[in-house]
Amino acid sequence: MTELVIDSSAGKWNYHVFLSFRGEDIRNNFLGHLYAELTRKGINTFRDNKELKGGEEISPTLLKAIRESKISIVVFSENYASSTWCLEELVNILQCRKDKNQLVLPVFFYVEPTDVRNQKGTFGEAIADHEKRFGKNNDKVNNWKRALVDAAGLTGLELKHG
């Protein structure tokens, strides 16, 4: 297995890694192990521990952490797309990939990349709910859909049952 090597001096970055995830799905299992291993290796990792209430906006602190990270690991899980906050993070992460050459590594945690890309299963249900809430031709929803397509097209890791 290839080992990810990250220079331990953050340089112009405040964080080596930013973790984007849906807390209710993975906070206390996979994410906890990933975060512990990254920090054990001396990798400065940003993980947001705040649980958002419905309707809360993504915080400026979180947006700043995304911009100041060298790598973003996006953990797509069953309910990732149901969170408008996760989707906003994803849009901002992909913008940093474009503007700052930030490395983006998608992890498909018991979800299929094709479900993310084509918005099928829980991803399709979540997008349909967002379209009902914000409108089918809403710019924000269209940005989220485009971000899911783009991120699912990146080389990443698939973690599956079995």
Residue 90 in any domain: the answer is: yes
| Per-residue pLDDT at 36 | 94
Q: Is residue 97 part of a domain?
A: yes
Give the model confidence (pLDDT) of 58-80 as tens digits. 788 889 999 999 999 999 999 99
Question: Low-confidence residues of the chain, pLDDT below 50?
Answer: 1-2, 4, 6, 8-10, 52, 54
Looking at the domain assignment, is residue 5 inside a domain?
no
Task: Confirm whether 68 is a catalytic residue.
Answer: no
Query: What ranges in the chain are assigned the alpha helix state H?
Result: 23-26, 30-40, 60-67, 84-100, 113-118, 121-134, 139-152
User: Is 109 domain-assigned?
Assistant: yes
Q: Give the ranges where 41-82 is alpha helix by DSSP (H).
A: 60-67
Which range marks the domain in which residue 106 is found?
A: 15-48+57-159
Based on DSSP, count helices (H) and strands (E) in the chain, helices before strands: 7, 5
Specify if 1 maps to a domain.
no
For the domain that residue 103 is a member of, what is the CATH number?
Answer: 3.40.50.10140
Residue at 104 is within a domain: yes
Residue 7 lies in a domain: no
Report how many domains make up the chain: 1
Its sign, for the CA torsion 79, 81, 87, 93, is positive
Q: Cα separations (Å) of 94 from 106, 119, 149, 152?
A: 11, 18, 11, 11
Residue 8 · residue 36 · CB < 8 Å: no
Q: For 27-43, how does the pLDDT look when each residue is reduced to its tens digit (9 = 90+)?
A: 668 888 999 999 999 99
Which pLDDT does position 159 carry in this prediction? 92
Does residue 31 form part of some domain? yes
Instruction: Say which amino acid occupies 55.
Output: G
Catalytic site residue from 78, 89, 125, 131: 89
Q: How many other CB atoms are there within 10 angstroms of residue 158's CB atom?
A: 13
